[in-house]
């Protein structure tokens, strides 16, 4: 079902792995952020970003593995989608507890709505793999692409937040 998609999944996995490494470089900028509030803010934004990049890497690796049938991949991607939706709920709760940052609609789209949509698409793609529907590879690729771009947005947002809040007490 995913024949011909290897290059796509290799590229997205490589991008996610590379961006994860770059995110660790950004995190080293946080050394100056020693206050509790600043550390809490970094944690609230960096963890979801790392989870998104890690998810893209994991899903891409799973998609290029030589499975004997579509079932194992469908189960893995379906569970990843369900876990992703559960994690969106955790992220929303975590961000709502931040009392020193005002999140606007764009932030909520990037940290909640878009990841939720991507994970629903991943679940739909996994179901499509099981039933043999032709939309399945596109739903999976769309989900992985959306998660990658949300991660890029979040990493940029985190970098700007660190630069602006270096003196947060």
pLDDT band for position 99 (50/70/90)?
A: low
pTM of the model: 0.87
Rounded to whole angstroms, the Cα distance separating 18 from 109 reads 24
Give the N- to C-terminal CA distance of the chain in Å, as an integer: 53
Residue 47's pLDDT is what?
A: 86
Q: How many CB atoms lie within 10 A of CB 46?
A: 20
| Residue 159 · residue 42 · CB < 8 Å | no
At 19-75, the pLDDT tens digits run 988 888 777 766 565 555 666 666 777 889 999 999 999 999 999 999 999 999 999
Q: Is residue 167 scored above 70 in pLDDT?
A: no
Tell me what the mean pLDDT of segment 149-154 comes to.
Answer: 92
Taking Cα atoms as reference points, which of 53, 142, 52, 48 lies closest to residue 103?
A: 48
The one-character DSSP state at 99 is: S
Coil, strand or helix at 19: helix
pLDDT band for position 146 (50/70/90)?
A: very high
At 105-133, the pLDDT tens digits run 888 898 899 999 999 999 999 999 999 99
Rounded to whole angstroms, the Cα distance separating 88 from 115 reads 7
């Amino acid at each position: 079902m995913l024949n011909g998609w290897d290059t796509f999944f290799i590229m997205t996995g490589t991008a996610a792995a590379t961006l994860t490494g770059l995110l660790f470089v950004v995190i080293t900028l946080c050394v100056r952020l020693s206050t509790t509030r600043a550390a809490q803010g970094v944690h609230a934004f960096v963890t979801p970003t790392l989870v998104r990049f890690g998810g893209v890497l994991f899903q891409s690796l799973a998609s290029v593995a030589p499975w004997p049938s579509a079932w194992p991949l469908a189960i893995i991607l379906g569970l990843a989608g369900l876990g992703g939706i559960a994690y969106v709920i955790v992220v929303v709760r975590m961000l709502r507890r931040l009392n020193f940052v005002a999140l606007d609609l764009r932030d909520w789209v990037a940290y909640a709505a878009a990841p939720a949509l991507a994970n629903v698409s991943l679940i739909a793609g996994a179901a499509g793999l099981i039933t043999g529907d032709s939309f399945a590879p596109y739903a999976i690729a769309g989900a992985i692409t959306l998660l990658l771009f949300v991660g890029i947005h979040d990493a940029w947002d985190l970098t700007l937040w660190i630069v602006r809040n270096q003196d947060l007490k």
